Structure 1
Amino acid sequence: MGGWDIDVFSSGLTLIVMDTVLHKPIKIQGAFKKPVVGLGFCLAGEFDLSWMSSKTRSNIRAGQSGFFTFPKDLEMTQHLPADHLLRIYLMLEGEMLSSFTQGDEDYFSPVIKSFEKKRADRVVHSTTALMRTVLHQILHCPYCGKARHIYLESKAMELISYKMAQLHPAFTCPENELKRSDYDNYGQISFMFGK
């Protein structure tokens, strides 16, 4: 029950939402036809992931967010239990990834090296409060048609920025972080302009 929603954007970004209830365990096997870099967010359930180049399984569970790389033709197996599974993935294609890494190659050298060695790689963190807010907004998009497309792409980009800051704290500018007083001041400014 349930299924997959896939949105492909002209920027080279793909947004995938998997929301399904399985009544018995299943195993899904496949391989990517080209190298893939992406972000994964597990919101409900858990499952195991394994690939041909590794004898170990990775356990993925609710509350985790991951940054992953899969080289071309790598065979991957997902072991899905009987459970409610809710996941959101963002896949970045080559040109889009190049535009992100340009000028910051040192930060992304592990990604580049994993492709050169033709091996899969995955870095796992907790899903932050900011990420959870955006994931909720994606799942409850209030628009349809072109407005929906623009909204979802902007939210996907927002998730990428949060994940980049989590992977490399150097991308975060502490002096620009919003404080509680900033929100309070914003409310006063909005009120003044609303008059």
Structure 2
Amino acid sequence: MAIELIFPPQAMQQGFPKLLEQMNQSSLYSYEIEGIEARLEWSKMVGQGSVRFAYLRPGLQISIENHQMKEKLVMQGQHSHLDPWKFYFLVSGELSGVVDRSASPFTLKTGENCLTACSGDRAQMTYYDHQTYLAVTILVDPWFLKTFLEEQSGLPQPLQQAMKTSAERFFHTGATSPAMQIALHQILYCPYEGFLRQIYIESKALELIVLKLAQIDEQISPPKHNVTLQPQDIDCIHNAKDILLSNIESPPSLLELAKKAGTNDYKLKIGFRQLFGTTVFGYLRNQRMEQARQLLLEKQMNVSEVAQTVGYSSLSRFSTAFKNYFGITPKTYQKNS
């Protein structure tokens, strides 16, 4: 059995709060609207958790979903070129969907994202039962993006086409990069309230938009580097990655790592940029922070023990690094999680 939510035509142009009022599915959820924010709470018979919505400014909206369904949830809707572009970042869970009845289905997993523009006449998304979903959605009106552009020259060609009234659908999926993960965690665990919170969330939403557009541009545009990695080089880079992860408390120097992996430091630096989108020690920092976050969530260690486990001898340096990465101190993160 599946729960179906069918959005009316031009639904996304109205914004989340008006959409909730129009659909009025009181048997499935309750909702409340206060100022620029709205909150949907699933009824206990269909699931648990909520979806929070907010207008950040005209043309820019955000939602944060944190919920689990008891039955499969299928959402359907009709879309047009006037609808906002949908930037969707899935932090946990797995879902499937289709952007048009003539298009192939897609699957989105934990740590992946997608951009949908100019969807077809029967877009659909399916959430599965007994999975915990944590996701951030940013809706951006095309005219809002145009305010940043001169003749749309700053966008990849397919997205320039998506701006036009005669545009066909545009859909792109990708892995959520470490930089995206940082911005997402800063949104999910925003340390501010009121006016400061709104400014902070808006800045991070714009950052995610930039990172996603840059990801698309990088994948669509011709490579800008002249170094081609051979299969044996790629094997060495992955070997270096494994060595780093095995020695996360006390990692080798760059030269030592290159020697142990069977390559040189130049190819090591180029390889990490190409394969992982960051520097060698940028990758190490990302892994340390993610491991620290997981350990704090498990609550089997205190903050000092977590710091030592991920290679920080100084608690203050660890706290500073964690806050710079996630936008919240490790102590507060552990307390609130």
Does the Cα contact within 8 Å between 2:152 and 2:160 map onto a contact in 1?
no
Task: Please state which structure has a larger fraction of its residues in helix.
Answer: 2
Structure 1 Cα separation of the partners of residues 106 and 158 of structure 2: 19
Aligned-residue sequence identity (percent) comes to 22
Task: Tell me which residue corresponds to 2:108.
Answer: 60
TM-score of the superposed pair, with normalisation by structure 2? 0.47
Structure 1 Cα separation of the partners of residues 107 and 54 of structure 2: 26
Does the Cα contact within 8 Å between 1:101 and 1:108 map onto a contact in 2?
no
Task: Tell me which residue corresponds to 1:107.
Answer: 155
1:107-160 Cα distance to aligned partner (Å, 9 max, x none): 333124345555332111110111101101100111121111111001111112
Structure 1 Cα separation of the partners of residues 54 and 94 of structure 2: 23
Give the aligned length.
Answer: 175
Higher relative contact order (CA 8 A, sep 6+): 1
In the TM superposition, 1:87-98 aligns within 5 A as 87-98=135-146
Confirm or deny that 1:85 pairs with 2:139.
no
Confirm or deny that 1:153 pairs with 2:202.
yes
Confirm or deny that 1:131 pairs with 2:183.
no
Confirm or deny that 1:42 pairs with 2:99.
no
TM-score of the superposed pair, with normalisation by structure 1? 0.77
Task: Tell me which residue corresponds to 1:167.
Answer: 216
Task: Tell me which residue corresponds to 2:235.
Answer: none
Task: Tell me which residue corresponds to 2:63.
Answer: 16
- 3-state DSSP of counterpart to 1:168: helix
Q: Which of 48, 62, 76 is the aligned partner of 2:123?
A: 76
Structure 2 Cα separation of the partners of residues 24 and 93 of structure 1: 32
Task: Please state which structure has a larger fraction of its residues in strand.
Answer: 1
Confirm or deny that 1:4 pairs with 2:46.
no
- Pick the structure with greater CA Rg: 2
Does the Cα contact within 8 Å between 2:115 and 2:171 map onto a contact in 1?
yes
- 3-state DSSP of counterpart to 1:27: strand
Does the Cα contact within 8 Å between 2:146 and 2:152 map onto a contact in 1?
no
1:19-78 Cα distance to aligned partner (Å, 9 max, x none): 11111212112234732213111111111112444252111111112222135x733221
Distance 1:17 1:105, change over 3 A: same
- 3-state DSSP of counterpart to 2:98: strand
Aligned-CA RMSD value: 2.8
